[in-house]
Amino acid sequence: MRGKSTPSQSAREPQPATSSDIEQAIKALPDEDNERIEQAGLNRIARIRWSANGRSHEDLVQEAFTRILDGTRHWYKERASFTDCLIGAVWRVASAWAGHRKRNKGTPEYAVLESALSRTDEKGKTISPFDPLHDPTLNIEEELIQAETTAEQEAESKELADRIEAAFANDGRASIVLMGFQDGMNGPEIRAAFDFSEKEFRTTTRRIQRGANKIMDEHHGK
């Protein structure tokens, strides 16, 4: 009869890996994959520096493992290797740490860190390690004007980016490519870092483009 789903139809839906699958994958990790995972942790810690707040690349990788093991992040075997899924989780944890600092940089947790890293120059002026991050050519009034004119565009861009990222949350390869682009990597760099073939990369980017176009059209009422 028409209208009824069949077992074969439901079987096509990808299912998250089980705890047993994950444990077996961890035990079977080859040395080269362990090295890739460690390097990913080192790279992320180097990129977020102050946001790590004293945590090491080992802490970062362990948190990524924990998120996969406790189900916070799922691994879909049909969509990505365990190593790629884990590296994607490493990136997400690092991004979460960086976001936490951005939202809470005025709290004692981060103020203590900045104070410990600050130094006094020969004129007695306190130099913060974060000073180079600010544009010295802008005064307070200019910064306020710039903030007012860009805040709305930034909010809209973030909303769209969040929607696109959420749309591919269960697509391992697409999530990795999106995070790579967000981190300023180009196509060849992403392919090299995650061992994607040219075909896999092109197929994934086309899938992302179709999804992004749909979200953009919906956002603009088309």
How far, in Å, CA of 101 to CA of 110, rounded?
7
pLDDT, mean of residues 131-136: 45
Same domain, 163 and 221: yes
Please report which confidence band the pLDDT of residue 140 belongs to, taking 50, 70 and 90 as the band edges: very low
Model confidence pLDDT, tens digit, residues 83-128: 989 998 998 898 888 887 777 766 665 554 444 445 555 666 655 5
Same domain, 109 and 38: yes
How far, in Å, CA of 60 to CA of 113, rounded?
18
How far, in Å, CA of 157 to CA of 163, rounded?
10
Model confidence pLDDT, tens digit, residues 27-47: 999 999 999 899 888 888 888
In a domain, 53, yes or no: yes
Query: What mean pLDDT, rounded, does the chain reach?
Result: 75
Position 25 scores a pLDDT of: 94
Same domain, 101 and 37: yes
Position 12 scores a pLDDT of: 64
In a domain, 47, yes or no: yes
Same domain, 161 and 215: yes
Position 123 scores a pLDDT of: 67
Position 116 scores a pLDDT of: 45
Position 62 scores a pLDDT of: 94
Last residue of a domain, one of 87, 120, 153: 120
The residue range of the domain holding 105 is: 30-120
Same domain, 176 and 111: no
In a domain, 178, yes or no: yes
pLDDT, mean of residues 42-70: 87
Same domain, 157 and 215: yes
Same domain, 110 and 148: no
In a domain, 15, yes or no: no
pLDDT, mean of residues 148-152: 56
In a domain, 188, yes or no: yes
Same domain, 34 and 116: yes
Please report which confidence band the pLDDT of residue 10 belongs to, taking 50, 70 and 90 as the band edges: very low
In a domain, 157, yes or no: yes
- Please state the φ and ψ torsions of residue 101, each to the nearest 5 degrees: -65, -40
Model confidence pLDDT, tens digit, residues 174-196: 888 887 777 777 888 888 877 78
Same domain, 215 and 178: yes
Q: Is the pLDDT of residue 63 over 90?
A: yes
In a domain, 1, yes or no: no
pLDDT, mean of residues 53-57: 86
Q: How many domains does the chain have?
A: 2
- Cα-atom radius of gyration of the chain, to the nearest Å? 21
Number of C-beta neighbours around residue 83 at 10 A: 19
In a domain, 61, yes or no: yes
% residues pLDDT > 90 (the chain) = 17
